[in-house]
Amino acid sequence: MTTTSNNAIEDEFRRMDADGDGLVDLTDFLRAPRKLLAALDIPEDAPKAQALMRANETQWASFLSLGDADDDGALTADEYVTTRTSPAFRSPSRPGKGEVCQTLFDVLDGDDSGTISQDEFLRAADFLCMPRTEASSYFASLDTDNDGQLSAKEFLKAVKRFYTS
């Protein structure tokens, strides 16, 4: 992996290290989905929220199995980069990977239509640290069939692009 990619992963690590202690632990890892649920006004005891949290907990366990060299239940920046650059991280069979994408899609699909509208996508723009105008353009680029909705397939492309850019 390139230095530029590693720098992006290190930036991701710093964003995830909520308490600034140089480690990402389960609390740090679950901060992002909790923040998203709060931004979308979805209570954590709602079925969609519980599914998202379980999927993220599964993914966290997978992260630890890939990179927690000292078995302390947390990842240093080096361990995080090792995890994210591991071929096993990109494996379609990595535990939690598909579940996180599907449960995130379900959470963003606020009206349960089976698609994510531009309005639903823009509600999450702040969570994605994306200005609204940029998020609108990004949505348009993801909406490959130009129907004003993101299908699960189109959304999966967005997630893949996010983690590989």
CB neighbours (10 Å) of residue 62?
19
- According to the model, what pLDDT value does residue 52 have? 95
Residue carrying structure tokens 């931004």 = 39
Query: Would you say residue 101 lies in a domain?
Result: no
Question: Is residue 7 domain-shared with residue 81, that is, in the same domain?
Answer: yes
Task: Say yes or no: 14 and 75 in one domain.
Answer: yes
Domain that holds residue 51: 1-92
Same-domain pairing of 80 and 115:
no
Last residue of a domain, one of 92, 123, 148: 92
List of the chain residues with pLDDT < 50: 1
Q: How many residues does the chain have?
A: 165
What pLDDT sits at residue 1?
44
Query: Domain count of the chain?
Result: 2
Number of other residues whose CB lies within 10 A of the CB of residue 106: 19
What pLDDT is attached to residue 4? 57
The structure's pTM equals: 0.85
- Domain boundary, last residue among 92, 121, 136: 92
Q: Is residue 119 part of a domain?
A: yes
Confirm whether 97 is domain-assigned.
Answer: no
Q: Using one digit for the tens of pLDDT, what is the confidence trace for 99-126?
A: 888 999 999 999 999 999 999 998 887 6
Helices (H), the chain: 3-16, 26-39, 47-67, 77-85, 97-108, 118-123, 132-142, 152-164
In a domain, 104, yes or no: no
